[in-house]
Structure 1
Amino acid sequence: MTFHRFTRYAPGAALAGAIQLALLAGPAVVTGHAAVDPLTTWCELYLGQSKGEVMAAMGDPGGHQADSLIVTVQWMHEGATTAEWNPPGAILFAAFDKDEATIKLLAYDAASGVEGSVRPTGLACDPWRAS
């Protein structure tokens, strides 16, 4: 009879345990994601991807090392918006059309700047992707 009671309540206990484990593991998972190399994340982005998806993957933009590109992008694409990230050694620049689809993903070496056309060290994908 004791075994019957155990098997009767086991699925509920397993669910409760899984929920507790998920609650405990939650912060560790977020910390692990934040530790991913930004250049690896950058290479996983693609043209046509939504601005929201890019922002979610890369985090909050910041930096002004690619300001000269903003004028050019806005001149070429009416209603375009841009974002920039500056992880160590790199300048990462994204441009989005008026419908918030990614139209440019440009990566430069921070020491050379955006005029230098030098890819950042450690970048495993094409540094200049544009539609």
Structure 2
Amino acid sequence: MSTYCTQAQVEDVFGVENVAAWSDLSNTDTADTARIARAIAVASERIDDVARTTNYRIPLADEDAATSVTVSDLAAMLAGIWLYEARGSRDFNPQTGEVAHRLEFKRLRAEQVLADIRDGRILLNALKG
């Protein structure tokens, strides 16, 4: 199984305190590294699911076995969103009062990047095969 980002990269996108809080279902104020690892695994597998529909080799890496910034950033974003949603967070749009996911814009961006990779609009620095 591929792993496209680290806990530190997820924390770079969402902040150390947010990632710790979202990962901690017991409210102990301690990051749950096992849950963070699970989020990274889920995110990485989602990326691989899309890559399987393309002619890229899995894991997505270049000839030096390095993961592109595009892929690692995408994995970090998806992992953070998974942690946030798995906690059962609910948000509301202050203007409409409707339920509105406060990270929805990041989810939409991530899904668009995945679609662009799948459809060949984004060409990754990764081996094909």
Task: Confirm or deny a common fold (TM above 0.5).
Answer: no
Greater per-residue strand proportion: 1
State the TM-score bracket (shorter-chain normalisation). Answer: under 0.3
Greater per-residue helix proportion: 2
Point out the structure with max Rg over C-alpha.
1
Structure 1 length-normalised TM: 0.25
